[in-house]
Structure 1
Amino acid sequence: MATLSQLLELPDLGLKLLQSGPGDPELSWVSITELLGLAEYLEGGEIIMTTGLTLGADDPGWLDFVAGLSRARVAAIGFGVGVNHDTVPTPLLRAASTYRVALFEIPLPVPFIAVSKAVAGLLRSDELRAARSALQVQLRLLDSARGSQDPAEVLASIAQATGRQLALVSGKDRVLASTQGFQSDGAELVALNTEGTLHLAIAGSGPLTPEGSSVIAAGAMALGFSVRSDRASDRAERERWELLTGRILSGALPAATAEVLAPGVRLPRTLRAVAVQGSPEDISGWRGEPRLGLDRLIGSTEELAGGLARAWQIVDGSAPEAALTRIAQHGLDAVVGRAVAATALPMSVRSAAGRLGDLPGRSSLYVEPRRAQTIWADRDAPFLEAVLGLGASPEHGAIALSREVLGPLAATGPNRKASTEPDRELLCETLGALFASDGQRGPAAAALGIHRNTLRDRIARIERLTGRSLASAADRAELWFALRADELA
């Protein structure tokens, strides 16, 4: 920015400051006048040069002249001596002091045009500096489109260069990333894709400089390139994320592998597995939204009986609310697994899987008004959590008792060795189906896709291996608690 002090420091002009104003005012332009009522034609920041042709040395009109310029917020008054007045009039000095308007003397033989050219040169240099700075920001932003810079970092770079608050918005009002303090009220939207589903929202007041406009244009281009290359709707890209998510959820790959597909994005300290369920159409709409970073950790869609579909997503364990809001906005139900360390995601999957039977069926999708249901595996059963002592050591009493009850059907024995029963998982699934069907064998056999005689044989094996009878209410209660403890612990 060009300032008054820079002008006064130019040695060739010999300007002399007689009265300082508040601070070091920025210069916007320069004007020569002998008029008294010039204030209404000014915008602020101008230097007004005069020789005092219309006012005498002791004329009280100097006070009104300076008062008007003060209201117009001029940068300074330049008075040329040796033309109409040999010295700067005393009333002008007093008025400048009263209204705190900067006043400097222009000596002979310095012409006013020399001062005008000097101001123009300072403004031109300032514009060149701003242009160079804006160009550097634009280059960084465009480079980020080819690299791995996170959209939030791109928004921060634009905000720093323009003083605006910005956000990356999907659909009407879903904020994917934003700068601190962003408010959507009155924000201007710039489309980033041809479908009009993704926008750069710009909020802030005051005029935007040409350099600021160019920075925003470059930032919009960078975000557009980045989002188009990152969109999970791209089939090949989505398939890679689906495959990766499935392997992470099963424990075949560590969760940190996700950072390979999203360089620059770091895993949160804890993660949760979320089972998302609803109609295939709603699942498809939810999956097709533009996604960034780890928000793309969604597994493949599984078709369920009764016209339902299900998919799994990995979310931030300590802040899953944004992901759950997006799920609910599509009318989808969800079961949220326990928050676990990145290395223990299969435990979160098991905790969520144990509550899938509590989700409503297909008929609930047609109930108006439709309210999506969210079940928290670690919040909706506090009594069970407390009784089982989840999170305790493997030698905790409840866990040890569950092993004793299940016997060969437990995942691990007292010495932490894996079960040697070859059909352990099959028999545990059968036991879970019986509990889910309230002990009714017909519905349990149908859910498992087996004949009732096959179910009867499996029940006989379960009772033989555990030493418990499913005809006994007490034994059934012990088996249910033991099975839940084994699944979650």
Structure 2
Amino acid sequence: MTTVRWLLAQRRLELTLRGGATGLDRTLECAVSSELVNAAEWLSGGEVVLTTGLRLPHTADAWRDYLTDLDAAGVAAVGVGVGFGYDQVPSEMADVADRLGVPLFEVPLPIPFSAITRAVLDQIAAQRSARLVAATKAQPRMTRAAASGGSTALVRELAETIDQDVVLLDTALTVVADAPHPVVPVDLNRIRDLVVRDPASAGAVWMTGDATMTVARVGSGGRTFGHLGVVGAVALDDVDRMLIGHAVSLLALEHAKPRQVARDVVDLHDDTLTLALDEVRGPGLRRILARGADPGGRVRAVVYTFVDDDAALVGCRRLVDELEHRWRAVFVHRDGPEVILLLRGDDHVEFATSLLNMMNANGSGGTCGGIGPVTDLDDLTESVRQARLAGRSATGGQVVDLAGSRSLLAMDPVRQALHDAFGERLAPVLVYDDEHGTDLRATLLAFLEANGNWGAAASAQGVHRHTLRHRIERVEDMLGVDLADARTRAELLLMLLGANA
């Protein structure tokens, strides 16, 4: 960046500062010479104005008005050539410059204005050339970041390169990635307003007193995949805009990759998640799973339960499409009527619920789910286990978070106590199942989860009501209990759930 301070430091020009020292860090855009008294009317800001003052009245009022107008036009500095209109810069003019903060310097008679102009233009050209060289080096880094780390890594690389805050939004205007800092809510809302105003626009700019917001559409042809927002204290230059354009192209390529490639990635992630659930370990497996983690390497699981296998298959496909639409790494695995989804550790139950609402939007409303606690990648199976447990108490259209709701079943001492009571209290049923190959335990759990409703429990077990009633009577005889009693049912249900936990 070329500043007034840099210009005055060029010894060969022999310039002497006479006033306005507080403005030495103003940026220079060009240098012009003018003898017009109303030169401010022809300027756009950032100029060094060079004048001999020949046409300027030699009065304090004239000097004040002249510098005030130039300052209002946004000039960077004023240079007065001595030896013509003035033998030296008047002290009264220097006082005005000090008050306005406009650098005012003296140009000695032997130094032509063209030498100052050439110095400024050469320096600006050199800096622009250096910026272009830096940009050519930054573009391969951005491409490598996109190839290795996807949209999140690319956003981070772009933000570091242009030294501004960058945020990527999906088509629902939800934040996909941001760097190096989250955009403050008021600026984020302004970016969203720019998008809403004209979603198909290639770009838009919003300037406030302390920030400039730039939005670029990410898309291919008539399709829009999202929007890239940039927030900074200064406006973007041509090089910054070139780098943003490169980032937008990379993001569009990532999102518009061939469908077969996308499907292959989803299948790979499905297989990886399956291996992780089987507690297979390995650096390669962990590296792939990390794509679905938050910046701290944490994850959490959601388990959705559908009415049957076919509904789960449809729901699984809709989940994949929705997550891809939201620029998410897709880790989804279907196991019968269950669909296991890997979320980032910083995702909340509201996000899992929004996905559930999307799947229930067809009017079925029968799907429910549970969300597990936040864990490291190595403890993923624990999050899945607790998600399953939470889902047992969910009703249609609901996602239950035991850890978030401070459920007793989420507490280790309580689960241990229930597990111990389970082995002792339910021993007759467990032994009978082992010896006769029956599953009275599952029948009892279905009856208890149905709150003693014979029809609902029989339907869940796929048996006739009379068959279910016969099995439950056998359990009552074994345990010496009356399952018509609500307290007894509650105690046994807690034991069974605690054992599953």
TM-score using structure 2 length: 0.75
Superposition pairs of residues 39-58 of structure 1, within 5 angstroms:
39-55=40-56
Tell me the residue number matched to 1:421.
434
Q: Say if 1:38 and 1:69, in contact at 8 Å, map to a contact too.
A: yes
Superposition pairs of residues 125-274 of structure 1, within 5 angstroms:
125-147=126-148, 149=149, 151-162=151-162, 164-179=164-179, 180-182=182-184, 183-185=188-190, 186-187=193-194, 188-193=215-220, 196-204=223-231, 207-228=235-256, 234-249=262-277, 251-253=278-280, 259-262=286-289, 266=293, 268-269=297-298, 271-274=300-303
**Pairwise CA distance, 1:266:** 5.0
Q: Secondary structure at the match of 2:322?
A: coil
Tell me the residue number matched to 1:289.
322
**Pairwise CA distance, 1:403:** 0.8
Tell me the residue number matched to 1:391.
412
C-alpha distance in structure 2 between counterparts of 1:14 and 1:266, whole Å: 60
**Pairwise CA distance, 1:406:** 1.5
Tell me the residue number matched to 1:400.
420
Q: Secondary structure at the match of 1:31?
A: strand
C-alpha distance in structure 2 between counterparts of 1:432 and 1:238, whole Å: 35
- Of the structure 1 ranges 444-453 and 40-49, higher mean CA displacement relative to structure 2 is found in 444-453
The 3 A distance-change label for structure 1 pair 224 and 434 is: same
Q: Are 2:332 and 1:298 equivalent residues in the alignment?
A: yes
CA offsets, 1:53-94, max 9 Å, x none? 224666863333233223323222222233444444555445
Q: Say if 1:409 and 1:427, in contact at 8 Å, map to a contact too.
A: yes
Identity within the alignment, %: 23
Tell me the residue number matched to 1:8.
8
Q: What amino acid is aligned across from residue 299 of structure 1 in structure 2? A: H
Q: Say if 1:262 and 1:293, in contact at 8 Å, map to a contact too.
A: no
**Pairwise CA distance, 1:391:** 0.5
Q: Secondary structure at the match of 2:342?
A: strand
CA offsets, 1:355-402, max 9 Å, x none? 6565556xxxxxxxxxx42333456694xx2xx7941288x5443222
Q: Say if 1:243 and 1:300, in contact at 8 Å, map to a contact too.
A: no
Q: What amino acid is aligned across from residue 113 of structure 2 in structure 1? A: F
**Pairwise CA distance, 1:470:** 6.3
Q: What amino acid is aligned across from residue 62 of structure 1 in structure 2? A: W
* Number of aligned positions between the proteins: 457
Tell me the residue number matched to 1:313.
341
Q: What amino acid is aligned across from residue 284 of structure 1 in structure 2? A: R
Structure 1 stretches of 5 or more lacking a match?
Answer: 304-309, 362-371, 412-418
Tell me the residue number matched to 2:31.
30
Q: What amino acid is aligned across from residue 376 of structure 1 in structure 2? A: D
**Pairwise CA distance, 1:312:** 2.0
Q: Are 2:462 and 1:449 equivalent residues in the alignment?
A: yes
The 3 A distance-change label for structure 1 pair 434 and 195 is: farther
Q: Say if 2:374 and 2:383, in contact at 8 Å, map to a contact too.
A: yes
Q: What amino acid is aligned across from residue 303 of structure 2 in structure 1? A: V
C-alpha distance in structure 2 between counterparts of 1:139 and 1:389, whole Å: 48
The 3 A distance-change label for structure 1 pair 397 and 238 is: closer
C-alpha distance in structure 2 between counterparts of 1:31 and 1:131, whole Å: 25
C-alpha distance in structure 1 between counterparts of 2:345 and 2:231, whole Å: 34
The 3 A distance-change label for structure 1 pair 482 and 468 is: farther
Q: What amino acid is aligned across from residue 43 of structure 2 in structure 1? A: L
**Pairwise CA distance, 1:214:** 0.8
C-alpha distance in structure 1 between counterparts of 2:46 and 2:455, whole Å: 87
C-alpha distance in structure 1 between counterparts of 2:446 and 2:346, whole Å: 32
How well do the aligned residues superpose, as a CA RMSD in angstroms? 4.0
Q: Say if 2:370 and 2:389, in contact at 8 Å, map to a contact too.
A: no
Tell me the residue number matched to 1:414.
none
The 3 A distance-change label for structure 1 pair 83 and 237 is: same
Q: Secondary structure at the match of 2:2?
A: coil
CA offsets, 1:185-225, max 9 Å, x none? 23434124457352133154764211110111122233334
C-alpha distance in structure 2 between counterparts of 1:433 and 1:165, whole Å: 53
Q: Secondary structure at the match of 1:181?
A: coil
Q: What amino acid is aligned across from residue 181 of structure 1 in structure 2? A: V
Superposition pairs of residues 52-91 of structure 1, within 5 angstroms:
52-55=53-56, 61-89=62-90, 91=92
Q: What amino acid is aligned across from residue 251 of structure 2 in structure 1? A: L
Q: Secondary structure at the match of 1:399?
A: helix
